[in-house]
A and B are shown apart, each in its own frame.
Chain A
Amino acid sequence: MEMLIFLLFAALALGSSLVVVLHRNPIYATISLVLTLFCVAVLFVLLGAPFLGVLQVLIYTGAIVVLFLFVIMLLNIQKQGRDESAFAGQGLQAAGAIGGAIVFFLLVGLALWRSGLPELHPLTADLVALKGLSRDLFAEYLLPFEIVGLLLLVAVIGATVVARKPPEDGPATKTNPEGAEL
């Protein structure tokens, strides 16, 4: 049963990640990313981290990818035309990058094959339950937790400042002091 679920969602994740990278239309690539993220969330649940799976769906697909879609629609990014290549650079550079990626994957595969990975213990309640995760977060990892909170605040402020419309002609303009910034 677990094998069946793994095979289904792993195949789906691989297929949709290929679509993400290869499709010409950015909207379709983003939708495929949603599918990939959902499959990875299911795999998290299989690996005994149900909270991370749920958080992945809530944060990644529920917020981040929506942001992507909004930006794509705001900037009206068209899909690449038929005659233009979707890939930068000459064929040699692209082949080099893809070749390098394949070599890396083969090396990882080789390392895994040669190493003796120990057998999996059955899932313990300690690993899966929220209690352990939250206790670690608020006891041992409190400092990183607070720093990440600060980081998110800084990111929100920074993104708002960077993306807003620049003021029209500089400080001398007083025509619209209460201007609605859209």
Chain B
Amino acid sequence: MVAVRDLTKRFGPVLAVDALSFTLDAGSIAGFLGPNGAGKTTTLRLLLGLARPTSGEALVFGRRYRELPNPTRRVGALLESGDFDPGRSGRNHLRALAIASGIDTQRVDELLDLVELDRAAHRPAGDYSLGMRQRLGLAAALLGEPELLILDEPANGLDAAGVHWLRGFLRQFAATGGSVLVSSHLLAEVAQSVDRALIIKRGRLVATVAMDQLPDRGSLEQLYLELTGMDES
């Protein structure tokens, strides 16, 4: 579903992503882990066609994102930045996206119910709390009933109940054949829900860890700290 090969992105002198390769199969949840600035968000932007790789390739369903015919039907994405016009209501934010991809507005209301924003849907998104924005972003990602979810730090701003809900949601999504690539710099929230952890540091993949091969979920933290080291500055 996702194939990243020798992906490299350079911003001037900075090598943000350095010959990164990994794949993601159907029905699995992969955690994309690394310290802040490790290149997680850049990799996801390359995968989603927002930025162009310096070299290498990042494919979804065997193609570059920009070549997917109706991408919202295949890939749902939530980016870290929380992208809403503060003056537009949550419902209208979703409707504008639904109209552009030919999705029925009834689906918008279904999703507002699902992420429990139905009562706040008429309010400007600028008034939303961080958690509400994340839920609105998740609703946007789910609009086209995609097979693949790409989520950048989705648990940011969610309260404990929200994180719990998100985990359950992702599990169920994967159980019905969907795949998830979820980035995080927080281990605890990821360790409990992923099948596989991709650990990156300074733009390079330093380890791929199958969770069922670890003695227990807690040992991911140990491994992560060993691999990413404490020498981050």
Asked whether A and B interact, the reply is: no
**Interface on A for B, CB 8 Å cutoff?**
none
Interface residues in chain B, defined as those with a beta carbon under 8 Å from any beta carbon in chain A:
none
